[in-house]
């Protein structure tokens, strides 16, 4: 059995697709591409697909991850191209690697988000960010199936800053005043989402964008506490693949007669 890990995107209008919608579209793409999928056992077998930490409905993403199990080996890049052609534009498979290490989900410990606030002056957003970062606690409320829950969103936020608007990959351009926030949030329990941080900005600085924020996940991976950066979760698999031929060559050389 071969395992392939994929990175895919949710862009443009496709950010409004739910995770269930994507699952259906992806399973159709697997059939169109004639991928030799491994299936679960039981009366209702399902293709072995593991989804990891999907972005909320309504948010864009450049860094969604999943893993599939195959019954026959396939070239990861050719498989990526076939699946990308079988999915609608906006749901794009942009990277594929063979799984050579364990624990992909364990390496998704933080996300980098971009929040585009149309109608908000950058200076106003910068003041709100300063107030948020200075706060010892930022209590926000979220409506759950068990009622309204209040929790502190501040500890999960590793960094929050106001950045320049030019060159932004967010997918909702505008000629009005616009502030761009860059957010790094740890994956904790309860999960702190970008809309919770926006609620926190409203609570500590009365920042209320006139239109809903356009939110895009730029990256997710292992959070490095020393540097405050989020690392690529597929890097260990690529490194293992790159080192494998070298290891084999070294072993052959060691066994060769003098």
Whether 11 contacts 93, CB under 8 Å: no
How much of the chain, in percent, has pLDDT values that exceed 90? 79
For tokens 């031929």, the residue is 245
Q: Where in the chain is the domain with CATH 3.30.70.580?
A: 2-106
CATH topology of domain 2-106: Alpha-Beta Plaits (3.30.70)
pLDDT tops 60 at residue 257: no
pLDDT by residue (tens digit) across 153-185? 999 999 999 997 654 444 445 578 999 999 999
Q: In this structure, what is the dihedral angle of CA atoms 157, 159, 162, 165, given to the nearest 10 degrees?
A: -100
Three-state secondary structure call for residue 4: strand
Question: How far is 233 from 67, CA to CA, in rounded Å?
Answer: 12
Residue 254's pLDDT is what?
Answer: 39
CA of residue 35 relative to chain centroid, distance: 24
**Do the Cβ atoms of 244 and 151 come closer than 8 Å?**
no
* Dihedral class, residue 108 (left if φ above 0, else alpha if ψ from -120 to 50, else beta): beta
Give the pLDDT score at 13: 94
User: pTM for the whole thing?
Assistant: 0.87
Q: Identify which of 213, 41, 47, 27 has the alpha carbon closest to the alpha carbon of residue 118.
A: 213
Find out whether 248 and 233 touch, Cβ atoms under 8 Å: no
Q: What confidence tens digit (pLDDT) does each residue in 14-39 have?
A: 999 999 999 999 999 999 999 999 99
Per-residue pLDDT band for 230 (boundaries 50, 70, 90) equals very high
Phi-psi region of 12 (alpha: psi -120 to 50; beta: other; left: phi over 0): left
Res 214 pLDDT > 60: yes
Q: Find the range with the poorest average confidence among 66-70, 82-86, 161-165, 225-229.
A: 161-165
Mean pLDDT, the chain, whole residue set: 90
CATH T-level assignment (fold) for domain 108-230: Alpha-Beta Plaits (3.30.70)
Mean pLDDT, to the nearest integer, of 53-70?
96
CA-derived radius of gyration, the chain: 21
For 163, residues 6+ apart whose C-beta sits below 8 A from its C-beta are 180, 181, 182
Give the start-end residues of each E strand in 125-243: 139-144, 147-152, 157-163, 178-186, 214-221, 223-224, 229-230
């Amino acid at each position: 059995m071969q395992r392939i890990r994929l990175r895919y995107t949710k862009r443009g209008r496709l950010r409004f697709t739910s995770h269930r919608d994507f699952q259906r579209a992806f399973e159709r793409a697997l059939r169109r591409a004639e991928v030799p999928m491994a299936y679960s056992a039981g009366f209702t077998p399902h293709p072995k697909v593991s989804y990891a930490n999907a972005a909320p409905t309504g948010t864009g993403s450049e860094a969604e991850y999943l893993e599939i199990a195959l019954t026959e080996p396939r070239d990861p890049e050719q498989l990526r191209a076939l699946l990308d052609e079988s999915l609608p534009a906006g749901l794009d498979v942009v990277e594929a690697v063979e799984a050579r290490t364990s624990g992909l989900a364990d390496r998704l410990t933080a996300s980098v988000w971009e929040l585009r606030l149309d109608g908000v002056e950058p200076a106003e957003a910068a003041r709100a960010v300063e107030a948020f970062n200075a706060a010892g606690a930022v209590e926000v409320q979220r409506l759950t199936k068990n009622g309204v829950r209040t929790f502190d969103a501040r500890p999960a936020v590793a960094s929050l800053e106001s950045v320049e608007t030019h060159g932004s990959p967010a997918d909702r351009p505008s000629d009005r005043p616009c502030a761009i926030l860059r957010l790094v949030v740890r994956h904790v329990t309860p999960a702190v989402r970008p809309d919770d941080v926006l609620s926190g900005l409203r609570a500590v600085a009365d920042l209320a964008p006139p239109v809903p924020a356009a939110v895009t996940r730029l990256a997710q991976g292992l959070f490095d506490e020393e540097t405050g950066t989020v690392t690529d979760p597929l890097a260990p698999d690529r490194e293992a693949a790159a080192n494998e031929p070298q290891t084999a060559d070294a072993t052959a050389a060691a066994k060769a007669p003098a």
